[in-house]
């Protein structure tokens, strides 16, 4: 074992596992090629966790007041791939992943008032729907899913620590973070601070010492949820939630902090400032990862723009794996143009892979391990497009290789696709998803009759049977091993 690394002192740290100042923690090494683009460094860096036996990742989650649009699920799916990759490298129990839920918010209050329902009824309902959609998209449940309303003690404790550390001040029932207290403020977002502030339309208020200072605690308006605090009854600001939830679930600092690129400023900048000033840890997160937007045409996809595609609705029309594939075809950092053709293409890609598996039903796979080429692609800052190309290359080997190559390719295809959250369905069921038993029997009889007509070169009869199948919404695909079929997606 290598020599220990000294731990920086962080007085007043709330983290139970915090080592005393001056202590050393053992440094373990594991060879690993994973490199991640770090927003803070503005460069790809080799990923080295602080402790390979306790790798920590936090991703900012949704505000639960409505069904989530598909854009909300891009970070869910992207960071799920990273979670799965980290679990593969470090072991399933060695990776701790927290993804929070914001359940204190003006939009939630408005929704509850509109429905005349308690706030918790609204948040519980949409959190359940969100988790159901995420599971259908193949996302593993995070290790922790903290909720702001259930983290209130830790939030209030962290605000108190910031006040004691002279990094926050109380004014007119509010507590504000003093951005002057943190010399590195603005380093994460990197652009000139006044520009960022102008872009984010920072609220100017008489109780602020500096326009960039942000709210940690504020009085509740009538009808809003309210908690007691040393600064009067009120509710937390948004940014402090995440820092307190990280401290409570994972402990600061963490290895990886993720979220959408729109969160870099002010949310993540503010999280970092308050986290460092509360714990006196020099680093808040060792790697900052941000995914690009999902675009609908030229516009950013957001509820406020109104161009909404709810994942909940899409999942009724398409298999979860097809939507997941569509969300992963482009590099996670680049914007992704979202449209119906993207999902259709994704489904056709999965058809090719499932088709290869179905035709190789009698091939016994070797051990189901991801291929070296597949891992190399994901190790390169989650290059999912290259990883998908590797899946097709493995499928081609499975179709065209020698008997030995086929066994190996099948194992590697299942291992690689499985790591990425694909090919979880039975190939037969994939193509027949949605057909009830009676309809399925009728379709299969028609497909068999058409196959027979083709073998007998009775083309008029084969065409007639195809027309009958088309009328039933069935698409027939002719291949070397006979015809396969599937139901078309409803229009």
- How near is the Cβ of 239 to Zn ion at its closest, in Å? 7
Q: Is the peptide bond before 381 cis (omega within 30 degrees of 0)?
A: no
Contact stretch for Zn ion (CB under 5 A) within 57-65, 127-135, 221-229, 380-388:
57-65
- Total number of residues binding Zn ion (CB under 5 A)? 2
Binding region for Zn ion (CB under 5 A) out of 52-60, 84-92, 308-316, 459-467:
52-60
Of 56-64, 83-91, 136-144, 451-459, the segment contacting Zn ion by CB under 5 A is 56-64
With contacts defined by CB under 5 A, name the span among 39-47, 54-62, 118-126, 356-364 that binds Zn ion.
54-62
To the nearest whole angstrom, how small is the minimum distance from the Cβ of residue 100 to Zn ion? 6
Stretch that binds Zn ion, among 60-68, 158-166, 193-201, 373-381 (CB under 5 A): 60-68
Q: Would you put residue 392 in left (φ > 0), alpha (ψ -120 to 50) or beta?
A: alpha
Minimum CB separation of residue 237 from Zn ion in Å reads 11
CB of 399 to Zn ion, least distance (A): 45
**Residue closer to Zn ion (CB basis): 60 or 158:** 60
Site string for Zn ion, 204-243 (x = CB under 5 A): --------------------------------------x-
Residue among 60 and 137 whose Cβ is closer to Zn ion: 60
Is 250 a binding residue for Zn ion by CB under 5 A? The answer is no
What CA–CA distance (Å, rounded) separates 6 from 33? Answer: 25
Nearer to Zn ion, 60 or 294 (CB): 60
Min dist CB 90 to Zn ion, Å, is 24
Stretch that binds Zn ion, among 59-67, 277-285, 287-295, 451-459 (CB under 5 A): 59-67
Nearer to Zn ion by Cβ, of 242 and 343: the residue is: 242
Site string for Zn ion, 466-485 (x = CB under 5 A): --------------------
Which of 109/270 has CB closer to Zn ion?
270
Please, which residue, 58 or 185, has the CB nearer to Zn ion? 58
Taking each helix axis from N to C end, the angle separating 73-90 and 320-328, rounded to the nearest 10 degrees, works out to 90
Min CB(146)–Zn ion separation in Å = 11
CB of 58 to Zn ion, least distance (A): 8
Task: Return the residue of 13, 36, 40, 60 that touches Zn ion, per CB under 5 A.
Answer: 60
C-beta separation of 96 from 55 below 8 A:
yes
| 3-state SS record for the chain | CCCCEECCCCCCCCCCCCCCCCCEECCCCCCCCCEEEECCCCEEEECCCCCCCCEEEEECCCECCCCCEHHHHHHHHHHHHHHHHHHHHHCHHHEEEEECEECCCHHHHHHHHHHCCCHHHHHHHHHHHHHHHHHHCCCCCCCECCEHHHCHHHHHHHHHHHHHCCCEEEECCEEEECHHHCCCCCCCCCCCHHHHHHHCCCCCCCCCCCCCCEEEEECCCCCCCCECCCCCCEEECHHHHHHHHHHHHCCCCEEEEEEEHHHHHHHHHHHHHHHHHHHCCCCCEEEEEEECCEEECCEECCCCCCCCCEHHHHHHHCCHHHHHHHHHCCCCCCCEECCHHHHHHHHHHHHHHHHHHHHCCCCCCCCCCCCHHHHHHHHECCCHHHHHHHHHHHHHHHHHCCHHHHHHHHHHHHHHHHHHCCCCCCHHHHHHCCCCHHHHHHHHHHHHHHHHHHHCCCHHHHHHHHHHHHHCCEEEEEECCEEEEEECCCC
User: Does 244 engage in binding with Zn ion (CB under 5 A)?
Assistant: no
Q: Which one, 175 or 242, has the nearer CB to Zn ion?
A: 242
Quick check: 64 binds Zn ion (CB under 5 A)?
no
Q: Which is nearer to Zn ion, 60 or 155 (CB)?
A: 60
> Which residues in 373-432 contact Zn ion (CB under 5 A)?
none
Q: How far is the CB of 99 from Zn ion (least distance, A)?
A: 10
Burial 194-232 (b: 16+ CB within 10 A, else e): eebbeeeebeeeeebeeebbbbbbbebeeebbebebebb
Least CB distance from residue 429 to Zn ion, whole Å? 38
- Nearest residue (CB) to Zn ion, 34 versus 59: 59
Which one of 58-66, 112-120, 406-414, 416-424 is the stretch in contact with Zn ion (CB under 5 A)? 58-66
Q: Which stretch binds Zn ion (CB under 5 A): 55-63, 106-114, 156-164, 436-444?
A: 55-63
Write the binding mask 171 to 190 for Zn ion: x where contact by CB under 5 A, - elsewhere.
--------------------
Q: Which residue has the tokens 């401290």?
A: 247
Nearer to Zn ion, 60 or 85 (CB): 60
Return the biggest CA–CA distance within the chain. 88
Which residues are near Zn ion by CB under 5 A?
60, 242
């Amino acid at each position: 074992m290598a020599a220990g690394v000294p731990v920086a002192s962080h007085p007043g740290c709330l983290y139970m596992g915090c080592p005393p100042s001056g202590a050393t923690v053992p440094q373990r090494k594991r060879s690993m090629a994973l490199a991640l683009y770090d927003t803070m460094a503005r460069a790809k860096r080799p990923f080295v966790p602080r402790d390979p036996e306790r790798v920590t990742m936090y991703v900012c989650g949704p505000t639960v007041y409505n069904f989530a649009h598909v854009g909300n699920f891009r970070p869910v799916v992207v960071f799920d791939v990273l979670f799965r990759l980290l679990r593969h490298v470090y072991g399933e129990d060695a990776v701790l992943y927290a993804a929070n839920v914001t359940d204190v918010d003006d939009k939630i209050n408005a929704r509850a008032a509109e429905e005349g329902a308690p706030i918790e009824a609204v948040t519980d309902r949409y959190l359940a729907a969100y988790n159901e959609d995420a599971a259908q998209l193949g996302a593993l449940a995070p290790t922790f899913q903290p909720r702001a309303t259930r983290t209130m003690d830790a939030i209030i404790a962290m605000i108190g620590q910031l006040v004691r550390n002279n990094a926050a001040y109380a004014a007119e029932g509010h507590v504000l973070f003093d951005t002057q207290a943190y010399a590195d403020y603005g380093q994460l977002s990197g652009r000139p601070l006044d520009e960022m502030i102008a872009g984010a339309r920072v609220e100017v208020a008489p109780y602020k010492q500096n326009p960039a200072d942000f709210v940690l605690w504020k009085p509740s308006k009538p009808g809003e949820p309210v908690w007691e605090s040393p600064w009067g009854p009120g509710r937390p600001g948004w940014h402090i939630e995440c820092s307190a939830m990280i401290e409570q679930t994972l402990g600061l600092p963490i290895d990886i902090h993720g979220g959408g690129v729109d969160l870099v400023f002010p949310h993540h900048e503010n999280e970092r400032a308050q986290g460092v000033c509360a714990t006196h840890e020099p680093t808040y997160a060792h790697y900052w990862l941000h995914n690009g937007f999902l675009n609908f045409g030229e516009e950013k996809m957001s509820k406020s723009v109104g161009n909404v595609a709810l994942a909940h609705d899409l999942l009724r029309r398409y298999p979860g794996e097809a939507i997941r594939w569509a969300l992963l075809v482009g590099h996670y950092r680049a914007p992704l143009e979202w449209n119906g053709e993207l999902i259709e293409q994704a489904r056709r890609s999965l058809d090719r892979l499932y088709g290869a598996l179905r035709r190789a039903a009698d091939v016994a796979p070797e051990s189901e391990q991801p291929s070296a080429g597949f891992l190399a692609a994901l190790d390169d800052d989650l290059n999912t497009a290259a990883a998908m190309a590797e899946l097709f290359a493995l499928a081609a080997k499975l179709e065209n290789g020698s008997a030995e190559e086929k066994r190996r390719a099948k194992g590697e295809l299942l291992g690689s696709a499985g790591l990425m959250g694909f090919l979880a369905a039975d190939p037969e069921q994939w193509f027949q998803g949605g057909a009830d038993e009676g309809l399925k029997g009728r379709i299969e009889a028609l497909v068999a009759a058409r196959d027979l007509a083709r073998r007998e070169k009775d083309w008029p009869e084969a065409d007639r049977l195809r027309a009958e199948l088309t009328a039933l919404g069935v698409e027939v695909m002719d291949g070397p091993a006979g015809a396969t079929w599937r139901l078309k997606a409803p229009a």
